[in-house]
Amino acid sequence: MEHLGARLTRISPGCVHIELPSRPEVTQQHGYFHAGATSAIADSAGGYAGFTLFGPDSSVLTVEYKINLLAPAEGDYLEAVGTVLKAGRTLTVCQLEVFAVEGDRRTLVATGQQTLIQIEARAER
């Protein structure tokens, strides 16, 4: 997330928001946010949302996710929202939403669903 320039803006049990400011490094040839950057922050928002409900000796991995790009993503920044739909002992399912924000306008540009697996904690790199 640091490489993309994204940052966590809200963290609560089962819900995480990540913002990604617009800049040339995260856009494609038409000036829209790149689908890869959009998907990356959605995946991370969901992963962290699930992680907020996991035990202290656990870690998280994405098992699968699907994302639908609904509209060209353009604006001042993107806001990804990951929300836990169902937390389980092993698998957790999250809803993913990404909004393009420009001034007071907030447009849903991507939506998806993700499955996470809770694993034994490992050292982070």
Burial grade of 112 (CB within 10 A; 0-12, 13-18, 19 or more): buried
Q: Give me the mean pLDDT over the 22-29 stretch.
A: 95
Q: Bigger pLDDT: 56 or 115?
A: 115
**2 in a domain, yes or no?**
no
Across the range 11-37, mean pLDDT stands at 96
- Total domains in the chain come to 1
Q: Which phi-psi region, left, alpha or beta, contains residue 56 (left: φ > 0; alpha: ψ -120 to 50)?
A: alpha
State percent of the chain over pLDDT 90. 90
Name the pLDDT band for 76 (thresholds 50, 70, 90): very high
Residue 71, phi then psi, degrees to nearest 5: -160, 155
Could you tell me if residue 114 is inside a domain? yes
Interval 37-52: pLDDT, tens:
999 999 999 999 999 9
Residue 93 lies in a domain: yes
Q: Does residue 32 carry a pLDDT above 80?
A: yes
Q: Which domain holds residue 83?
A: 7-120
Map tokens 């098992």 to a residue. Answer: 63
**Has residue 94 been placed in a domain?**
yes
What would the two tokens of residue 5 be?
């320039």
pLDDT bracket for residue 121 (50, 70, 90) = confident
| Residue 49 belongs to some domain of the structure | yes
What is the CB neighbour count within 10 angstroms for residue 45?
A: 31
Judge whether residue 122 has pLDDT over 80: no
> Quick check: is 1 in a domain?
no
**CATH code of the domain in which 43 resides:** 3.10.129.10
Residue 29 belongs to some domain of the structure: yes
pLDDT at 18 over 80: yes
Average pLDDT, the chain: 95
pLDDT at 112: 98
